[in-house]
């Protein structure tokens, strides 16, 4: 990108069956939709040029996201506010852009993300899960590429609160520290195997900065 | 509608299967049509990634949805892991648009592109809640229709289908749908609908034909019943410029094998390679005007946002206006970063200038198909190309900066000897030598790939009477080539002979094979064209349990007087012409291409005597 480009953040939803569109497929899908919508996004200069898109926090396959982020470069003078109405008619079912704005803060400042876990059994189960997940330490088996080891995930959990359908957890989401919410389900199974916690759906919502309180936009 | 809302169990199943995005639908351009009186589902009996790469399905799904009173959705074969989960959870095979089970459509249409997808057809019907056997299906079950190249000999599938469409679908598919719609309104029986369909032209209703056999298993008679025509003549579209072509198509959300926009240049082929079914069955020649190609290409690029467009034909470099067309298309596509790709380039008419221009947007490899290693054998198969032309083309490309080439050959061709095979190894050495002489940039080294597939005799080719090599002959030939290709920069790869053997059985098979397909499916055969799924032993056992002989179908040379299982089909090219080609093949005599001299193949009578060779 040699010419001047305005780095722009696009916020989008990925819900329903679209949760099963992988990270890589999502990048290509967004790239093509930009092209269909004739949004002049900057291109890569590689072997096979395509729209330059960066998705700072990849969402695990199968999770919904309501405030996901993607970043593109736009020429000066292009109004990012026009992006949703241009692109939404040309996106696949389940994906829609809610807003687009020039980037003020770098995505490296993202420290936490909020996940809603919907449980079978609803609110009651959610209250019980929130209590269990406040236990410290919270040791689960964490699988990495090579090995499986016991890890205390409590330091990665900022807060947990019950909701009508389950619970909401704010957990680490950065390059250095990241918690896959699947481990919250694993922890519940380990702490109270007889209670049969079953996660129906995991949905990512807002992002937070280091303070853990202020929403990152 | 979101498919997880319709089938909540999917939320639990999808995380555990490979590439779950194949099963979620909702792609951009996915046809969503309100309730119509006639509902169809168009099925591709292989994976989503392959089906979404297919231009014919794009066109025909568009065509149906463009027809008043008709709506058409899509379905693909679930991979084995997904099938198991669907059966476990009682989820039927559903359409990707509305999640409707296959059994709830008025008609289920399959495109039959490949012989080894037949068990997938049976499986998709069963998983969709439809009895696979046509004779067992009730009045309230959908009509099952097949089209595509395999219908030129659809006999092995006759037990499973009500109707086969022979030839190009842009006109007859609509006529057939409208007939079904009329019959539905009128409330006539399925039997009566089939009887009327058989009169449309290009529609083959297998249940209306009775097949008699000699004691040796060959055909004794083909008898049409109930007024069905003695010969079903292939349908073609005369005017490709005014033929239906969709303005939009479904763009996959997960990667397809050929994930790009596609537009045809022309139909038919002037070459007449004697092994090639498409080269004979797509005749007579008809072309799209460059302005039509250009308009459609622009529409599809802008609609889809794809990064690449493919200009399709059986032999791109035979399209007269190729260079000017590409120039004009590039002025539109290059600023958008959209590349143009041209499959099927011939080494003797290839232009390095054109390829270099195309490379400005998107780099691509170079592929030539000499098909045989010696001039003698290339004359037998009528692949009118010389080694000199191939080396010349490679030399120009290497000088222009390419550092590799893929060379495709066939083994097991009629009259082939080890001398001919040695020619393959020698040609690869000569290509390497050419690279040493001409390459502009030698730093990265040469990368020459030689691939062989095993020859499969196909109906409606001069080689339809030929014997196929046995598996052990093919294996010996493969090891011979492995031993004779020495250079480090030449890589040799080959197709699994078992796959080609089974292809051969079905390519020229008869109706008796329906029972074998059904039995093999019951015993777990699926995705037989996939090396890792193919259960060759199960097929062998199914054949022998049904007292059928593998070699009768695969290895046996057909007698010239023999009634062939596909003799009720007329593809335009006459049997006399094919037989003359077969005789000249055995004598090593090549024929001129259609531009040099018309060989009177017979196909132009399908187009009022018109065959446009230019």
From chain B, the residues in CB contact with A87 under 8 A are none
Whether B337 sits inside 8 A of A61 (CB atoms) is no
Cβ contact B454:B411 at 8 Å = yes
For chain B, the maximum distance between any two Cα atoms, rounded to a whole number of angstroms, is: 74
Kindly determine whether residue A92 and residue B253, on different chains, have CB atoms separated by under 8 Å: yes
What pLDDT is attached to residue A1? 45
Cβ neighbours of A90 in B, within 8 Å: 28, 305
A17–B contact, CB cutoff 8 A: yes
pLDDT tens profile B437-476: 999 888 889 999 999 999 999 999 999 999 999 999 999 9
Task: State ipTM.
Answer: 0.90
Provide the CATH topology of domain A108-208.
Answer: Alpha-Beta Plaits (3.30.70)
- The b/e string for A45-58 (b: 16+ C-beta within 10 A; e otherwise) is eeeebbbbbebbbe
CA distance A66 to chain B (A): 16
Rounded Cα distance between B125 and B122, Å, is 5
Give the span between the Cα atoms of B335 and B338, in whole angstroms: 8
pLDDT tens track for B254-289: 989 999 999 999 999 999 999 999 999 999 999 999
12-51 in chain B: CB under 8 A from chain A: 14-15, 20-21, 23-28, 30
d(CA B91, CA B17): 15
Give the three-state DSSP class for B135.
Answer: helix
Mean pLDDT is lowest, of B305-319, B350-364, B464-478, B600-614, for: B350-364
Least confident range of A10-24, A43-57, B159-173, B322-336: A43-57
Cα separation of A169 and A112, whole Å? 10
Which range is least confidently modeled, B139-148, B225-234, B336-345, B520-529? B336-345
CB contact under 8 A, A25 and B10: no
What single string gives the DSSP state of each residue in A165-184? SEEEEEEEBSSS-B--THHH
Architecture per CATH, A6-104: 2-Layer Sandwich (3.30)
Task: Choose the closest CB to B20 out of A20, A50, A200.
Answer: A20
How far is residue B311's CA from residue B327's CA, in Å, rounded to a whole number?
Answer: 13
What is the pLDDT averaged over residues B207-230?
A: 97
* Interchain CB distance below 8 Å, A17 and B305: no
pLDDT, tens only, B373-400: 999 999 999 998 999 999 999 999 999 8
| Cβ-nearest to A32 among B2, B306, B339 | B306
Does B337 contact A50 at a Cβ distance shorter than 8 Å?
yes
3-state secondary structure of B147: strand
3-state secondary structure of B394: helix
Residue position matching structure tokens 């689960």: A140
Q: What pTM does this model have?
A: 0.95
Chain A contact for B253 (CB, 8 A cutoff): yes
Residue whose structure tokens are 């397909």: B517
Domain ranges of chain A: 6-104, 108-208
Contact B20 A62 (CB under 8 A): yes
User: Domains in chain B and their CATH numbers?
Assistant: 3-228 (3.40.50.280)
């Amino acid at each position: 990108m040699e010419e001047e480009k305005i780095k722009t953040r696009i916020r989008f939803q990925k819900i329903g069956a679209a949760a099963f569109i992988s990270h890589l497929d999502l990048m290509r899908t967004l790239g093509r939709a930009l092209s269909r919508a004739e949004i002049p996004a900057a291109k890569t200069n590689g072997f096979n040029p395509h729209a330059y898109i960066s998705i700072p926090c990849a969402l695990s396959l199968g999770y919904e996201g309501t405030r996901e982020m993607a970043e593109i470069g736009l020429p000066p003078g292009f109004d990012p506010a026009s992006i949703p109405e241009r692109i939404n008619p040309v996106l696949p079912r389940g994906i829609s852009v809610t807003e687009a704005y020039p980037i003020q803060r770098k995505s490296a400042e993202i420290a936490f993300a909020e996940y809603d876990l919907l449980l079978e059994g609803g609110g009651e189960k959610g209250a019980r899960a929130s209590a269990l997940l406040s236990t410290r330490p919270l040791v689960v088996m964490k699988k990495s590429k090579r090995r499986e080891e016991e890890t205390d995930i409590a330091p990665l959990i900022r807060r947990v609160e019950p909701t009508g359908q389950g619970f909401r957890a704010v957990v680490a989401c950065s390059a250095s520290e990241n918690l896959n919410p699947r481990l919250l389900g694993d922890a519940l199974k380990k702490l109270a195997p007889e209670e049969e916690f079953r996660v129906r759906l995991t949905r990512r919502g807002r992002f937070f900065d280091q303070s853990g309180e202020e929403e990152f936009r | 509608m979101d498919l997880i809302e319709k089938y909540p169990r999917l939320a639990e199943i999808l995380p555990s299967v490979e590439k779950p995005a194949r099963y979620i639908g909702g792609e951009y351009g996915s046809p969503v049509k309100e309730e119509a009186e006639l509902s169809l589902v168009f099925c591709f009996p292989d994976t989503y990634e392959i089906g979404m790469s297919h231009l014919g399905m794009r066109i025909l799904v568009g065509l149906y949805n463009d027809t008043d009173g008709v709506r058409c959705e899509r379905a693909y074969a679930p991979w084995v892991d997904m099938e198991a989960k669907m059966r476990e959870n009682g989820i039927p095979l559903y359409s990707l648009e509305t999640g409707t089970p296959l059994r709830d459509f008025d008609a289920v249409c399959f495109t039959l592109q490949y012989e080894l997808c037949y068990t997938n057809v049976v499986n998709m019907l069963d998983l969709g809640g439809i009895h696979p056997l046509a004779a067992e299906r009730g009045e309230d079950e959908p009509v099952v229709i097949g089209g595509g190249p395999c219908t030129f000999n659809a006999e092995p599938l006759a037990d499973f289908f009500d109707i086969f469409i022979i030839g190009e679908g842009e006109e007859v598919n609509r006529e057939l749908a409208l007939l079904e719609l009329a019959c539905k309104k009128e409330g006539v029986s399925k039997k009566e609908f089939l009887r009327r369909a058989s009169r449309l032209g290009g529609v083959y209703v297998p249940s209306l034909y009775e097949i008699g056999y000699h004691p040796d298993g060959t055909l004794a008679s083909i008898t049409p019943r109930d007024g069905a025509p003695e010969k079903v003549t292939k349908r073609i579209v005369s005017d490709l410029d005014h033929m239906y072509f969709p303005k939009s198509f479904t763009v996959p959300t997960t990667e397809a094998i050929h994930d790009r926009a596609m537009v045809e240049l022309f139909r038919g082929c002037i070459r007449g390679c004697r092994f090639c079914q498409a080269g004979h069955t797509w005749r007579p020649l008809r072309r799209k005007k460059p302005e039509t190609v250009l308009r459609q290409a622009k529409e599809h690029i802008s609609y889809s946002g794809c990064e690449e467009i493919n200009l399709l034909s059986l032999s791109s470099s035979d399209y007269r206006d190729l260079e000017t067309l590409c120039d004009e298309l590039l002025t539109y596509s290059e600023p958008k970063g959209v590349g143009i790709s041209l499959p099927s380039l011939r080494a003797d008419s290839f232009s390095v200038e054109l390829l270099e221009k195309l490379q400005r947007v998107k780099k691509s490899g170079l592929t030539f198909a000499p098909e045989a290693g010696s001039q003698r054998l290339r004359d037998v198969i009528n692949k009118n190309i010389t080694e000199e032309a191939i080396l010349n083309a490679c030399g120009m490309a290497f000088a222009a900066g390419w550092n590799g080439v893929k060379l495709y050959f066939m083994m097991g061709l009629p009259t082939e000897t080890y001398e001919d095979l040695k020619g393959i190894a020698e040609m690869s050495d000569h290509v390497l030598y050419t690279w040493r002489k001409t390459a502009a940039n030698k730093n990265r080294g040469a990368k020459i790939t030689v691939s062989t597939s095993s020859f499969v005799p196909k109906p409606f080719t001069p080689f339809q009477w030929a014997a196929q090599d046995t598996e052990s002959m093919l294996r010996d030939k493969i090891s011979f080539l492995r031993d004779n290709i020495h250079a480090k920069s030449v890589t040799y790869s080959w197709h699994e002979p078992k796959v080609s053997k089974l292809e051969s059985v079905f390519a020229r098979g008869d109706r008796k094979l329906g029972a074998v397909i059904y039995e093999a499916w019951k015993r777990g055969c699926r995705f037989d064209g996939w090396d890792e799924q193919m259960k060759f032993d199960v097929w062998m056992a199914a054949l022998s349990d049904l007292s059928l002989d593998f070699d009768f179908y695969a290895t046996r040379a057909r007698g010239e007087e023999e009634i062939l299982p596909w003799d009720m089909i007329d593809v335009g090219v006459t049997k006399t012409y094919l037989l003359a080609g077969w005789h000249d093949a055995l004598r090593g005599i090549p024929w001129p291409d259609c531009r040099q001299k018309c060989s009177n193949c017979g196909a132009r009578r399908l187009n009022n005597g018109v065959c446009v060779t230019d």
